[in-house]
Amino acid sequence: MDWIAGMWAVFRKDLRVELRTRYALNSLLLFVLGSLLLVLFAVGPQPLTARVQSALLWIVMLFAASIGLGRSFVAEQEQGTVLLLQLNTRPSMVFAGKLLFNLLTVGLLTGLAAGAFLFLLNVEVPAPGLLGLALALGAVGLAGATTLLAALVARAARKGPLLPVLLLPLLIPLLVAGTSATRKALAGLPWIQAQDELLTLIGFAGATISASVVLFDYIWHE
Amino acid sequence: MEIRIFVLLPLREYCTMPVASPVVNPRLYRLVRAAVILVLTGVIVAGLLGEIPQLDILEQSARNLYFHVPMWFTLMVATIISAYHSVRYLRSGDRMRDIRAREAAWLALLFGLLGIVTGMVWARFTWYVSSGQWWNFDPKQSMAAVLLLIYGAYFVLRDSIEDPDTKGRIAAVYNLFAVATMPFLLYIIPRQLPSLHPGGEGNPAFSQTDLAPAMRWIFYPSVLGFIGLFWLLYTQRVRLAWVQEQLRDEPEL
């Protein structure tokens, strides 16, 4: 119980700090909308195939996540609150709380990106359940991979575009399985046809989160 | 009142003597070097001049098997060694482990690049003679390129941190985190997509029928020879890095 309370406290703290300024959420929101509009202008009015649509949607999502999610640990470093957290909580609580917060952020981001995308490009979805599940599993994998790497990047002296450089090659499996499942959902194929992709997404989320749990201690301790 | 006692030590105690490198046993090194020279010379001569089965499409390009495939075996060995030393570094904090992980990663990058280049040449003159295409979306080829990107990112991450201990720890964590996603990159995703390589669509990567008996006599020594070559380069680079480290700590040496 103690552990869950600690995790919840870290999550609540992050949420409260975020709601004070809404800096991360608003910038992420505008980034997603801006890049979607760019896509819209770049492809023009002709209808796109399901393959191109799913590819564009996932690319916008991955780039938004790789730019927006680095904040969580960098902010702690900048405000000098790392020591406070290290003294008062166990590393796994910090990791779980941050993961939960990132999960919420990625969930909002994914929902917004997918909704705006479907609305702007006027896409019909014959299998909404499959699309929702593929995006949800993709969001979990994305949050799992990003949380640990954000903690890594916060330790680096020269940050710059470090998070996307570290993150994007690791996300290729997620991208391949996610776009494939999304394409099948947009083409209206039955669930059983997307079985491989969904299992890969579950496996990727599981592998990244378990590896993060094991490795996080080594980053967090000085 | 404070009393200070000065003890005079013999002069040689003051300047640290250069220690023999702990990296490798020199006799073992010379033995492996001789074996690698012999085996790889044999592989190059026999590989280019020996008998191979005449198959359609492949024809003489089948000889590339002796050079392209061992690169991937070596890459795998280098990846495993790098990950192993990263784990040991996180456990012990021994600088030597970090050096070993770094040098193995560097050689993984080198052998991966060679594997991609040999594979590209092979595909160009086997499958794309008519179109003249050099790069094709083959899942294994593209995933190998991603693997190189990951190791590239590993070195960028190393360069972004100043303090050697933090650098070693953070780089080791990234290395191991990347290893956790590698099964997807190398085994799961490539088998879900159609591929030119053997082992597409769920088959094992290398089956009995893919390799003619006569070719085994060159192929297996070639694999061992290139892994041996990797070991030689690896120990040399680790020794060099160790010496540089000593010099940085003790500039008078």
* pLDDT tens string A12-68: 998 998 888 888 888 888 999 999 999 888 988 888 888 898 999 999 999 988 888
Give pLDDT, residue B202: 44
Q: What percent of chain A has pLDDT over 70?
A: 100
pLDDT reported for residue B14: 46
Does the beta-carbon distance from A148 to B177 stay under 8 Å? Answer: yes
End-to-end CA distance of chain B: 38
Give chain A's domain count: 1
- Does the beta-carbon distance from A208 to B180 stay under 8 Å? yes
Closest approach of A120 to chain B, Cα-based (Å): 30
Q: How far is A88 from chain B (nearest CA, A)?
A: 22
DSSP state for residue B210 in the 8-state scheme = G
**Each residue of A103-135: pLDDT tens digit?**
999 999 999 999 998 888 888 888 889 999 999
The 10s digit of each residue's pLDDT in A158-187 is 777 888 999 999 999 999 999 999 999 998
**Which of A160, A169, A207 minimises the CB distance to B153?**
A169
Q: In chain B, which residues have pLDDT < 70?
A: 1-21, 56-58, 195-196, 198-212, 253
B177 touches chain A (CB under 8 A): yes
Q: Which residues of B22-45 are buried (b: 16+ CB within 10 A; e: fewer)?
A: ebbeeeebeebbeebeebbeebee
Provide φ and ψ at B28, rounded to 5°.
Answer: -60, -40
Per-residue model confidence (pLDDT) at position B204: 44
- Within 8 A of A157 by CB-CB distance, chain B residues are 160-162
Structural domain containing residue A105: 2-220
What band does A102 get if pLDDT is binned at 50, 70 and 90?
A: very high
Helices (H), ranges, chain B: 11-14, 26-49, 65-92, 95-126, 139-159, 164-183, 189-192, 213-249
Q: Pick from A156, A177, A219: which is nearest to B157 by CB?
A: A156
